[in-house]
Homo-oligomer: A and B are copies of this chain.
Amino acid sequence: MSVKIALLGFGTVGQGTYRALTLNAGVIKSKTGLELKVTKILEKNPAATESGVAPRKLFTQNYDDILSDNDIQIVVEMMGGVEPASSFMLQALKTGKSVVTPNKDVVAKNFQKLHLAAKNSGALLKYEAAVGGAIPVINSLSGPLIANSITKIQGIVNGTTNYILTKMEEDGLSYEEALKRAQAKGFAEADPTSDVEGIDAANKLTILIAEAWKTYIPPTAFKRVGITGVSKQDLKNAKEKACKIKLIASAEMTKEGIVASVQPQELPMDSPLAGIKNEFNGILISCNMAGDIFLSGKGAGMDPTGSAVAGDIIEIARHLKNGI
């Protein structure tokens, strides 16, 4: 069965997704029987449209071309930012097109609105890549771990800050020096605010909480401390106690409800999170029956994120195939 797909945005993640769907088309066909065809891409940046990664004829600058194309069943939003990404997703869902996105910002801010639009039209909404990149955390919470009552989630969900903290610890760099190195390596943006102040991690924590407990807590509603105040001395002090400092997104179900925060924490060396280095992510899920489940891997990047987006596309295509 062939399923037609539109991509919104053809930057790093858009190109990674296109690569996953084309480079691995044979693997996908043999494992699932599905043929996934990208038939339209919304993108105006010549660096992307003229890159040669996708044929020129697939590109459009008019979203209505996609919305009005009844053959397109899945819209993949990879534009980044809140608007127009959010409106575009809502429009797609309302017309019955299923939506996949790695955009944690939109999902965290408009979680309920997006899910309601999907529910009303019967379309599907998936965002595995929004938390932990290629790490299958959303799927695990909503699938194999769903019979559990989740007691606690602790995650290193931002690769930029973990890279900076790792370099400060291992190479004795100051925060400023480590940030510069992260920027030079492409692990931090020119304006690193969203990463280093914990805003990105807070968005991801909102999504994890919603998946684990079906409770929506906006990212502005819990304590958030970034890593700009972490000094070389703090890391040395932690080391003397056989600990590492990591930026931890944490949520725990207590008698008083969910207690959540994003902040630097000292972790003992034997915590699996203490072993997560550089740009990698790790998430520890404590369950009332399954015990502690730990997942780790690449939390960002063209190919990891693209393959996770493609995984969601395939999951939806299977549902479409079965006639839901």
Contact = CB atoms under 8 A, between A and B. Distances in A.
A190 interface: no
Given A144-B128, A294-B296, A311-B144, A149 B24 contact: yes
Contacts of A295: 293-295
A250 B313 CA distance: 29
- Number of copies of chain A assembled together: 2
Give 10 nearest A-B pairs by CB, closest first: A147-B310, A134-B290, A136-B144, A289-B307, A289-B303, A293-B297, A144-B311, A136-B140, A291-B298, A27-B149
Interface stretch (A28-36, A37-45, A67-75, A166-174): A28-36
A304 to B, nearest CB: 5
Contacts of A139: 136, 139-140, 143-144
A275 interface: yes
A324 interface: yes
Interface in A275-324: 275, 287-298, 301, 303-304, 306-308, 310-315, 319, 322-324
Contacts of A32: 146
6 contacts: A24-B148, A134-B145, A136-B145, A144-B308, A290-B308, A319-B322
Nearest to A215: B30
B287 A307 contact: yes
A291 B311 contact: no
B28 A146 contact: yes
A133 B21 CA distance: 31
